[in-house]
């Protein structure tokens, strides 16, 4: 009897252990061997990148390091010279429309139509992103609240301040609730309060999505991101988690200077 009880308890414990094993976090972005040449000039060289749901990756690098080129390739706005991109397991080259449906993108210069009102523009963005007609109004209400665009729906975009135009750009990138959001300098032109709000929004979005954030503000990466990659002259020269940096007591500024002052620096393990 004692042996039977022991076996039962052991089996129950094993079943509980199996039941409590966390599910694997899905990979949302996978880029392998990305290269881009303009003529004979290599702008991006053999970049590998992988991102999972719940991660926020900060892309750092001097001007001309290749950050924007990489983001354009990840969003199918520029074809890679070599390499592959998968978004939520969908090959970008084989099924670009299906893959892009999972992406929200805010380029450095927001793609705004200044002659439209905020509501007209966001309606257009929702349609282009494939939001069902019956869900457009609800989607607009949600992003306008998230991006603090209350009371601007009937205003012309061209008459808004730089900060509010940037908010509209963020709203169009998330209106279809994408799995992957890519921001190129999202806090440019914002005042300190708007920067704080935008960083809070990025953290919120990154809790159940994947976010790639390109910025020149090192403190922004430390405050918002879960990981960082540094590029220099088209190459990946450093990669680490933010928690890893903190555990080592490393200064991101010192690391950035060290790895971007010497193009021959190896990738960090």
Element of type H or E holding 134: none
Confidence of residue 262 (pLDDT cuts 50, 70, 90): low
Secondary structure (H, E, C), 199-253: HHHHHHHHCCCEEEEECCCHHHHHHHCCEEEEEECCEEEEEEEHHHHHHHCCCHH
Q: Give per-residue pLDDT as tens, 127-161.
A: 999 999 999 999 999 999 999 898 899 999 999 98
Say what the pLDDT of residue 259 is. Answer: 93
Residue 264 predicted with pLDDT over 70: no
Say what the pLDDT of residue 2 is. Answer: 41
Q: Give per-residue pLDDT as tens, 89-132.
A: 999 999 999 999 999 999 988 999 999 999 999 999 999 999 99
Q: Give the residue-averaged pLDDT of 19-36.
A: 79
Q: Give per-residue pLDDT as tens, 220-257.
A: 999 999 999 999 999 999 999 999 999 999 899 999 99
Distance CA 155, CA 259 (A): 46
Distance CA 63, CA 46 (A): 19
Say what the pLDDT of residue 25 is. Answer: 81
Number of other CB atoms surrounding residue 1 within 10 Å:
5
Give Cα 113 to chain centroid, integer Å: 24
Q: Give per-residue pLDDT as tens, 173-219.
A: 999 999 999 999 998 878 888 889 889 999 999 998 999 999 989 99
Residue 164 predicted with pLDDT over 60: yes
Number of other CB atoms surrounding residue 10 within 10 Å:
10
Say what the pLDDT of residue 150 is. Answer: 85
Q: Give per-residue pLDDT as tens, 33-74.
A: 999 999 999 999 999 999 999 999 999 999 999 999 999 999
Distance CA 167, CA 190 (A): 9
Give the percent of the chain with pLDDT over 70.
88
Residue 82 predicted with pLDDT over 90: yes
Predicted TM-score (pTM) of the model is 0.85
Category of 268 on φ-ψ map: left (φ > 0), alpha (ψ -120 to 50) or beta: beta
Confidence of residue 19 (pLDDT cuts 50, 70, 90): very low
């Amino acid at each position: 009897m004692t042996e039977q009880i022991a076996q039962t308890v052991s089996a129950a414990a094993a079943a509980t252990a199996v039941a409590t094993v966390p599910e694997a976090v899905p990979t949302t972005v996978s880029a392998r061997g990305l290269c881009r040449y303009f003529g004979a000039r290599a702008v991006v060289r053999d970049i590998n990148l992988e991102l999972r749901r719940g991660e926020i990756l900060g892309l750092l690098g001097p001007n001309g390091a290749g950050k924007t080129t990489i983001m354009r390739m990840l969003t199918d706005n520029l074809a890679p010279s070599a390499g592959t991109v998968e978004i939520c397991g969908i090959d970008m080259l084989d099924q670009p429309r299906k893959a892009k449906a999972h992406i929200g993108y805010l380029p450095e210069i927001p793609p705004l139509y200044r002659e439209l009102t905020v509501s007209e523009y966001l309606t257009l963005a929702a349609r282009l992103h494939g939001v069902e007609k019956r869900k457009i109004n609800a989607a607009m209400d949600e992003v306008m609240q998230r991006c603090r665009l209350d009371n601007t729906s009937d205003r012309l975009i061209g008459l808004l301040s730089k900060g509010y135009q940037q908010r509209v750009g963020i709203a169009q990138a998330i209106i279809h609730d994408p799995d992957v959001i890519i921001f190129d300098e999202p806090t440019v032109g914002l005042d300190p309060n708007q920067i704080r709000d935008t960083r809070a929004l990025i953290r919120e979005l990154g809790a159940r999505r994947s976010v790639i954030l390109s910025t020149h503000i090192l403190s922004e990466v430390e405050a918002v991101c879960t990981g960082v990659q540094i590029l220099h002259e088209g190459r990946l020269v450093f990669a680490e988690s933010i928690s890893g940096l903190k555990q080592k007591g490393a200064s991101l500024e010192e690391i950035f200077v060290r790895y971007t002052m010497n193009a021959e620096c190896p990738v960090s393990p």
